[in-house]
């Protein structure tokens, strides 16, 4: 299951983008989005999804 970013909660800080090992996170119109086709939930790189850990607004959630 991929993660997604809830637009209403995202504050556009960008903390998630640089840590994404699969480069699934992109910046679109002041907000960030996760491409579900690229998201691997950080498997093989981290113990848990870094986007969710780094998000200061809890906008990164399982899709």
Q: Which domain holds residue 16?
A: 3-62
Per-residue pLDDT for 16 more than 90? yes
| Backbone angles phi and psi of 52, in degrees to 5 | -70, -35
pTM comes to 0.89
Domain at 44, CATH number: 3.30.70.20
Q: Tell whether the model's pLDDT for residue 48 goes beyond 90.
A: yes
Query: How many domains does the chain divide into?
Result: 1
Which segments of the chain does DSSP mark as H helices, in order? 50-54
Whether pLDDT at 30 is above 90: no
Whose CA is closest to 58, among 19, 18, 8? 8
């Amino acid at each position: 299951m991929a993660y997604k970013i809830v637009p209403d909660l995202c504050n556009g800080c960008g903390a998630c983008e640089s840590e994404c090992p699969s480069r699934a996170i992109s910046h679109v119109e002041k907000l960030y989005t996760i491409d579900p086709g690229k998201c691997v939930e950080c498997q093989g790189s981290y113990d848990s999804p870094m986007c969710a850990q780094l998000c200061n607004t809890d906008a990164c959630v399982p899709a």
